[in-house]
Amino acid sequence: MKEERPSVSEAELLAEGEECVLPSGDHISSPLPLLATGELVPFPAVVMSLIVRGAEGIKALQASSRDSDDYLILGVLVQDAETSALDPETIEEIAVLGKILRTTSLSDGSIKALVQGMCRVKITSLKVKKGFFHAEFRPENLDKQLAFSAEHEGLIHRIMENVRVLVDHEFFPEELLVILENAEGPAEITDILAAHHQLEPQIGYPFLEDFDPLSRLQLVDDLLISTLNRFLIGERLRVQAEENLSSEQREYLLRSQLRLIQQELGDELEEDYEGLEELRELLESSKLPAKVKKEADKQFSRLERMPSESSEYALLRTYLEWLTDLPWAKRSRERLDLKRANTILTKEHYGLDRVKERIIEYLSVRKLRRDPVGPILCFVGPPGVGKTSLGRSIAHATNREFVRISIGGVRDEAEIRGHRRTYVGALPGRIIQGLKQAGTKNPVFVLDELDKVGSDFRGDPSSALLEVLDPQQNSEFVDHYLNVPFDLSQVMFIATANTIDTIPEALLDRLEVINISGYTREEKLHIADRYLVPRQLDSNGLAKFSIAFEKSALTEMIDRYTREAGVRNLEREIGTICRKIARGYAEGKHRKRKVTVEYIHDCLGPTRYDPESTDEESVVGLVRGLAWTTVGGELLPIEASVAEGRGALILTGRLGEVMQESGKAALFFARANAERLGLDPKFHENKDIHVHVPDGATPKDGPSAGIALVTALVSALSNRRVDKDIAMTGEITLRGNVRQIGGLKEKALAALRYGISRIIIPFDNLKDVEEIPQQQRKKLKFIPVKHVNEVLDIALLDGTPSHKKISKRESKKAKVSSKSPRARQKRGSM
């Protein structure tokens, strides 16, 4: 605590215009505008917030800011005085000099002023000018030292102890202790404590009119003792009353008070009461499970006791409304008519026989057993092949509701499990939201883009999906928002993905993967004629007109304007044609009835893709490899060239690590078998070999280009041409064995597009030939090989063929079992 330095003597009367100096160094002169503080007693060393409404008070504030450097006199009204009259007799003699810190104009015309009390003053003259008081005054003298004794020290100590007790009981704020410890002696201590008591004028004015700080110290001590005694007695009586009050009496008292409050609030509270009754009825009729019912009753009891103005009231009510909106017991009546289901699937989707067969199998099991474990199907295939729409057809065939959510790009685990209710704006996760949207507990639920789920510091959504997609666990799925179990076991989950490479192993283990390959040209033609054209004619208002698309026109769009595994872009181009026809009908210019190739060119402009063809001649070092992509198969030319050098192997064309390793393995095989292949045994010492895979801007990777790389290297080193009518795919080992690859269907169809009918494939892939549509299979000749020597004998010209043809009996002995879909896709990237 700082040393006391104020004096108790009064200064000489200031003549009008005469200045005095404050401790802050500011110069002030008498007279100053006077503002009456009403029921508030002002004190020095205290900042006061005043609401000024009267015209005289507003004028005084404005004059102070304009003429007196924000200084004014804060006066106290005489008890029972009229506040509306400008009468000097209504103002007490002792006042406070104040300084305006800030003013704010309010919407009702009043002014809010923040004023700092400076020191006590004695009003010597009070006049009314320009509609407000002007006061001449004497300030207290601040120069004389106090006669401070040990008794006063003890008094201050007792005051501080009593303040601490009241702070501990939350009568005073904790900040008051800090303010008192930094006060400059007894004068400020007494003024601060008197101000914090917010005394009425008849009690507070004696503290203000006493200029002696030591005298005021005794007054404050008496005030604190009286306050503390009243407070402690009241606390003791309250505790005793609570202990003596039984629970029945307490409830009766509270309910009586609640009825009185309801009567006061009137209609508004009656509406809240009616809303709660409606919510109670919904909870009773929702057929909640036992655990959920117990939690709902508990939260509803809390809601009843909670005032509607509470911030938690709306949150709790929203939570209970979510509980009533969810389909705890409501199910769709499932139709198990196998013939009807097969008809719907065939009508709405062309091909996809394996998928349709799996759905019919599921319905057959449901027909024989009413509570089987639901499958978790995962359709994997390129974009636009109908994975999502297939889920809608399944819902139609089984008479279930359909829900679709896209989880591609989701990185927050709470998107799946929901947010905890402690967070602002919390909601259930997408699974629970989807079930609310469906309105039943057994919908067909499509999780789109499963392979594009991400993760970051907010959690891993794929880990949350482990519980959702596990038939053994999802019967008790707990959303963080609901915090009660919900049965997902009757939901038919269907996931879609473009690839399974990015799906975590643990999640993939819970899925039944069904691969959906890209469409052939004939399939696209059939889909366009049967589905896409009628749909676009109807969407563009042309269904009532007899408009036909020639087959050649559809084929032109498929070959020259779109290049994709699915039919999404094809439908867009058909839509463009239909819109141009619709414009002609709307303007009355022409009424097109038949869409021809010429009209396609007029509407769509120049073709986007050139006809797919290969080089006309067989050349040295050029091999036609085959690659798999997410949008279908592609022909992959591989070029090799030899020049004098020091044995360097150069690989270009943005090749991935696996493909570069295949190139190195191919080179080492050629070195190890140089004599048998007719190569210079020392070619690796004096020749540089460059292998390039166009186009150079596209990344490429995968092991299935192994036999193509060997063929290109041996062709370039031996100067033997490669047959231009042969394409090939297969992985090699250092011993020259040819291993199985994936994506054979897409690769074979790509070769057929380029006019190549002979394809060298690994012997173990013979079983995959059956997946290729019969119409295309008849146009292709597959040559199965087990060793790379057979490949070289077949593909290289100007040599003597020595490969042994595979007999029909040996072909039938090929293993029928396929490798896991994940392994096939990993090899299928090339």
For residue 308, indicate whether it is catalytic: no
Q: What is the mean pLDDT of residues 507-535?
A: 88
The C-alpha angle 109, 115, 121, rounded to 5 degrees, equals 120
DSSP bridge partners of 688:
643
pLDDT in tens, 308-325: 777 788 888 889 999 999
Examine the pLDDT at 810 and tell me if it is beyond 60: no
User: Which distant-in-sequence residues (6+ apart) come within 8 Å of 759 by Cβ?
Assistant: 626, 726, 727, 728, 729, 747, 748, 751, 780, 781, 782, 783
Nearest to 421 by CA among 339, 317, 508: 317
Q: Pick the catalytic residue: 462, 662, 704, 715?
A: 704
> Which range, 263-277, 311-325, 445-459, is most confident?
311-325
Q: Are 580 and 560 in contact (CB under 8 A)?
A: no
Examine the pLDDT at 626 and tell me if it is beyond 90: yes
Helices 788-795 and 706-718 pack at an angle, to 10 degrees, of 50
DSSP bridge partners of 26:
none
Residue 523 CA to residue 545 CA, distance in Å, equals 26
Residue 564 has a CB neighbour count (10 Å cut-off) of 18
Helix, strand, coil in percent for the chain, rounding step 5: 45, 20, 35
DSSP 3-state assignment of 251? helix
Examine the pLDDT at 419 and tell me if it is beyond 70: yes
- Given this model, what pLDDT does residue 537 score? 92
Examine the pLDDT at 144 and tell me if it is beyond 90: no
Q: Are 85 and 56 in contact (CB under 8 A)?
A: no
> Where do the domains of the chain lie?
19-139, 150-243, 249-325, 338-515, 521-604, 622-827
CATH fold for domain 521-604: Helicase, Ruva Protein; domain 3 (1.10.8)
User: Which distant-in-sequence residues (6+ apart) come within 8 Å of 609 by Cβ?
Assistant: 559, 560, 561, 562, 563
Q: What is the mean pLDDT of residues 175-185?
A: 81
Residue 54 CA to residue 301 CA, distance in Å, equals 50
Residue 58 CA to residue 656 CA, distance in Å, equals 82
Among 188-197, 718-727, 738-747, whose mean pLDDT is lowest?
188-197
Q: What is the mean pLDDT of residues 631-648?
A: 88
- Given this model, what pLDDT does residue 10 score? 37
- Given this model, what pLDDT does residue 812 score? 44
Nearest to 379 by CA among 517, 490, 570: 517
Alpha helices for 349-419 (secondary structure H): 353-368, 387-398, 414-417
Q: What is the mean pLDDT of residues 354-374?
A: 79
Nearest to 306 by CA among 316, 297, 296, 298: 316
Nearest to 432 by CA among 331, 326, 290, 328: 326
Residue 705 CA to residue 753 CA, distance in Å, equals 19
pLDDT in tens, 220-264: 888 888 888 888 887 777 776 666 655 556 666 776 676 666 666
Report residue 578: phi and psi, to 5°: -65, -40
Q: Pick the catalytic residue: 387, 592, 700, 747?
A: 747
DSSP 3-state assignment of 426? coil
- Given this model, what pLDDT does residue 268 score? 52
Among 35-44, 551-560, 568-577, whose mean pLDDT is lowest?
35-44
DSSP 3-state assignment of 375? coil
Residue 92 CA to residue 259 CA, distance in Å, equals 47
CATH fold for domain 19-139: 2.30.130
Determine the length of the chain: 830
Burial class (CB in 10 A: 0-12, 13-18, 19+), 452: middle
Work out the percent of the chain whose per-residue pLDDT is above 90.
23
**DSSP for 741-768?**
-S-HHHHHHHHHHTT--EEEEEGGGGGG
Confidence band of 588 (pLDDT split at 50, 70, 90): confident
Q: Find where tokens 């505790």 sit.
A: 239
Would you say the CATH fold of 521-604 matches that of 338-515?
A: no
Q: Are 70 and 22 in contact (CB under 8 A)?
A: no
- Given this model, what pLDDT does residue 359 score? 83
- Given this model, what pLDDT does residue 251 score? 64
Confidence band of 782 (pLDDT split at 50, 70, 90): very high
Tokens linked to 712: 């290109």
pLDDT in tens, 5-16: 333 333 344 444
Look at 714 and 425; give whichever has higher pLDDT: 714
Residue 11 has a CB neighbour count (10 Å cut-off) of 16
Q: Specify the DSSP element, H or E, that contains 774.
A: helix 774-777
Q: Which long-range contacts (CB under 8 A, 24 or more apart) does 502-511 make?
A: 502/451, 502/452, 503/450, 503/451, 503/462, 504/462, 504/463, 506/466, 507/450, 507/462, 507/465, 507/466, 507/469, 508/378, 508/822, 510/376, 510/466, 510/469, 510/470, 511/376, 511/377, 511/378, 511/469
- Given this model, what pLDDT does residue 820 score? 37
Helices 290-305 and 267-285 pack at an angle, to 10 degrees, of 170
DSSP bridge partners of 732:
738
CATH fold for domain 338-515: Rossmann fold (3.40.50)
Nearest to 764 by CA among 711, 822, 824, 710: 824
End-to-end CA distance of the chain: 84
Nearest to 71 by CA among 104, 31, 110: 31
Q: Beta 402-406 vs 485-486: how paired, if at all?
A: unpaired
Q: Find where tokens 């779109």 sit.
A: 562
Report residue 477: phi and psi, to 5°: -70, 130
Q: What is the mean pLDDT of residues 91-117?
A: 87
Query: Rounded to two decimals, what is the model's pTM?
Result: 0.60
Work out the percent of the chain whose per-residue pLDDT is above 70.
85
Number of helices and strands (H, E) in the chain?
30, 26
Nearest to 633 by CA among 745, 723, 538, 716: 745
Q: Find where tokens 């100096």 sit.
A: 21
Confidence band of 273 (pLDDT split at 50, 70, 90): low
- Given this model, what pLDDT does residue 643 score? 93
Examine the pLDDT at 47 and tell me if it is beyond 90: no
Residue 571 has a CB neighbour count (10 Å cut-off) of 20
Q: What is the mean pLDDT of residues 487-496?
A: 90
CATH fold for domain 150-243: Methane Monooxygenase Hydroxylase; Chain G, domain 1 (1.20.58)
Tokens linked to 83: 């506040």
Q: Is CATH 3.40.50.300 what the domain over 622-827 is classified as, yes or no?
A: no
- Given this model, what pLDDT does residue 755 score? 85
> Which range, 128-132, 232-236, 561-565, 581-585, is most confident?
581-585
- Given this model, what pLDDT does residue 624 score? 93
Examine the pLDDT at 45 and tell me if it is beyond 90: no
For residue 105, indicate whether it is catalytic: no
Q: Beta 649-652 vs 402-406: how paired, if at all?
A: unpaired
Q: In this structure, what DSSP letter does residue 141 have?
A: P
Confidence band of 20 (pLDDT split at 50, 70, 90): low
Q: Specify the DSSP element, H or E, that contains 690.
A: strand 687-692
Q: What is the mean pLDDT of residues 178-194?
A: 82
Q: What is the SS3 assignment for 451-493?
A: HHCCCECCECHHHHHHHHCCCCCHHHEECCCCCCEECCCCCEE
Look at 411 and 557; give whichever has higher pLDDT: 557
Examine the pLDDT at 708 and tell me if it is beyond 90: yes
Residue-averaged pLDDT of the chain: 82
Residue 788 CA to residue 737 CA, distance in Å, equals 6
Look at 569 and 199; give whichever has higher pLDDT: 569
